[in-house]
Amino acid sequence: MRRQEQPTGKTFATNAEVDFVVIGSGIAGGSVARELTAKGFDVLVLEQGRHVPPSDMEHDEIGAFISNRWTNTPEQSPQMYRKTADAKAEQRHFLQYARVVGGTTLHFTGNFWRFRPIDFNEFSQRGAVPGTAVADWPITYEELEPYYTAVEYAMGISGETPTDPREPMRSKPFPLPPLNVTGPGVLLEVGAKKLGWNSKAAPMAILSREYKGRQPCHNCGFCLAFPCEWGAKSGSNWTMIPDALRSGRCEVRSESYVHRIETDDTGRVTGVLYFDKDKKEQRQKAKAVVLSANGAETPRLLLMSTSNRFPDGLANSSGLVGKHLMFNGNVVADGLFEHAVHGHKGPVVTRITQEHYIPDPSLNFFGGGGIDMRFDVPAMIKTLSMPTDGPEWGAAWKARAREWFTHSASAYGHTTTLPVATNSVTLDPELKDAWGMPAIRTTYKEHEHDMRLFKFFQDRCKELLSAAGAKKVYASPFGDAPGSAVHLLGTARMGNDPKASVADKYHRAHDVKNLFIVDGSSFVTSGRGQPTMTIQALAFRAADHIAQFATRLEI
């Protein structure tokens, strides 16, 4: 069996001033590192989490779903949560993100949807929404399109040229054909056809063919929440990071937890302070810093990096660092089918429908979304989370569990949520993490538009399952602040007005010339369900501009 080998990179001395320190090795940080090294710059990537070698990539449901094997843990990184600013905060593991080299793309599903033009200018098209900070992005789909294409070819995205005329322009076809359709994918197509909805092969960051020396998907089925031992799922750990290391100009320093970005009297960044794997503090000097730590850790680090010059946190003259926290709505309905689906084999998602990408404005909610059909989790979690309308133990449960495992599929609605100023990441005044640094305190409550949107999408999910022939359809509860949240967006939004945004359209912090902020926190609005592709396209675009600034000595 041929396996991917991880290249080694170079090593920088801490007292050497590197061109760029990139904080975070997820899809944003990894992409920035790949692109900047390709343009000849030295890049040091500092990653909180550990490197995960292929030998560590097990089909371990306990690790993936219970003991936080890949993610931030409540023990090391406790968090506080409150619904509103006047509520008492409680300790709760609310914001979830992987804490490993590769970031959350180590174990993601691989949904790789582009945004459409409306996702950048819905404010202009629809108008303001009371109680929100809905705004246009400072860039357009057309500006980002070349980077979407570059990303598709760098990653080897699988997909098919859309037939839906509502889809936007694409400058090149997908580099790889779609993934082989699975049972849930066929069911989506059957349901959509019956309802007269458009459906298509899902654009996925999973290889359908060998690509750039990486193996295609072998359909093992342990995908969502699991790392890919084949290297077929195109996480940053299998794509961007190895490319950056192969350049010979990159070091990825794992288990290096940056807790402060340092600045001098003139307000320029001089480097970072971090805890190494022994919790010993180290200082790394840098000419510029790119912050790609995710929608939770990016604002937290800025808020922790206070100084006389930046008393409210670095790059926070707008007061917006940490504000406008958004996720993507995630509504689910499950169906039990007559015949064996066996959706536990193959990729999680192979077909989607975006028929309701832009729902009728009379429905009175902002945004929209898309739906996939999937088999989401392996046997242990699947059977522990069965519908409760039958025996819960004994022989009858056992038979029911086997039927549920082999004959069910789930429709997932992925949607917009709105930017609300009071939804935020701040520093808890009391609680500290295992390194003695302030814990995250999240304040989050859905906007009424969000709840209407979720209801609409769940109804469509139920409709799709019924049309696909489900014998029974079950709807899961949604909203009212999810049990925990992923897709962490909007907490350092980009924009043209320094008073209304944290970074400019090139991701440069308005307040700090040699600090760039590139990740989900850059989002102005949440889009419609799948942010990773756009995070990565933003990172490619940012790196392009950052390299030009550096070449022109404008950093």
Partner 1 sequence: MTDPTRLDPMVSRREFVAGVSALGAVWLMACSREQAAVAESASMPSMPAESSAPPQTLVHFSSEQGVEIEAMASRIIPSDDGPGAREAGALYFIDRTLTSLAKDQVPLFAQGLEALSTAVVKRHGAGQRFSTLTAEQQDAALKTIEQTPFFGAMRFATIAGFLALPKYGGNKDYIGWKYIGQEHTFEQKPPFGWYDLPANQQALLGRVL
- Subset of 29-68 contacting partner 1 (CB under 8 A): 53-63, 65-68
The amino acid at 277:
K
Q: Does 153 bind partner 1 (CB under 8 A)?
A: no
Q: Please give the Cα distance from 450 to 478 (Å, whole number).
A: 11
CB 64, min distance to partner 1, A = 8
Q: Please give the Cα distance from 274 to 296 (Å, whole number).
A: 17
Nearer to partner 1, 334 or 463 (CB): 334
Q: Please give the Cα distance from 151 to 278 (Å, whole number).
A: 36
The amino acid at 352:
I
CB 419, min distance to partner 1, A = 19
Sites for partner 1 among residues 199-228 (CB under 8 A): 218-221, 224-225
The binder of partner 1 chosen from 288, 467, 470, 485 (CB under 8 A): 485
Q: Measured in whole angstroms, how far is the alpha carbon of residue 85 from the centre of its chain?
A: 26
Residue pair 351/185 in contact (Cβ under 8 Å)? The answer is yes
143-151, 302-310, 398-406, 419-427 -> range binding partner 1 (CB under 8 A): 398-406
Beta strands, E only, 173-217:
200-201
CB 26, min distance to partner 1, A = 13
- H-state helical runs in 39-104: 61-65
Backbone angles phi, psi at 18, to 5 degrees: -80, 160
Angle between helices 183-195 and 448-467 (to 10 degrees): 100
Angle between helices 141-155 and 118-126 (to 10 degrees): 160
Residue pair 507/118 in contact (Cβ under 8 Å)? The answer is no
Q: Does 385 bind partner 1 (CB under 8 A)?
A: yes
Sites for partner 1 among residues 413-452 (CB under 8 A): 434
The binder of partner 1 chosen from 7, 51, 170, 190 (CB under 8 A): 190
CB 56, min distance to partner 1, A = 6
Binding string, residues 106-145; x marks residues near partner 1 by CB under 8 A? ----------------------------------------
Sequence-ordered list of residues with C-beta below 8 angstroms from that of 477, at least 6 positions apart, any chain: none
CB 517, min distance to partner 1, A = 23
Nearer to partner 1, 41 or 65 (CB): 65
Q: Does 376 bind partner 1 (CB under 8 A)?
A: yes
DSSP character for 178? P
Nearer to partner 1, 203 or 346 (CB): 346
Q: Please give the Cα distance from 177 to 179 (Å, whole number).
A: 7
Nearer to partner 1, 26 or 313 (CB): 26
Q: Does 152 bind partner 1 (CB under 8 A)?
A: no
Q: What does R_g of the chain's alpha carbons equal in angstroms?
A: 22
CB 149, min distance to partner 1, A = 28
Q: Does 278 bind partner 1 (CB under 8 A)?
A: no
Q: Please give the Cα distance from 186 to 296 (Å, whole number).
A: 37
CB 257, min distance to partner 1, A = 15
Sites for partner 1 among residues 164-183 (CB under 8 A): 180-183
Q: Does 323 bind partner 1 (CB under 8 A)?
A: no
Nearer to partner 1, 182 or 237 (CB): 182
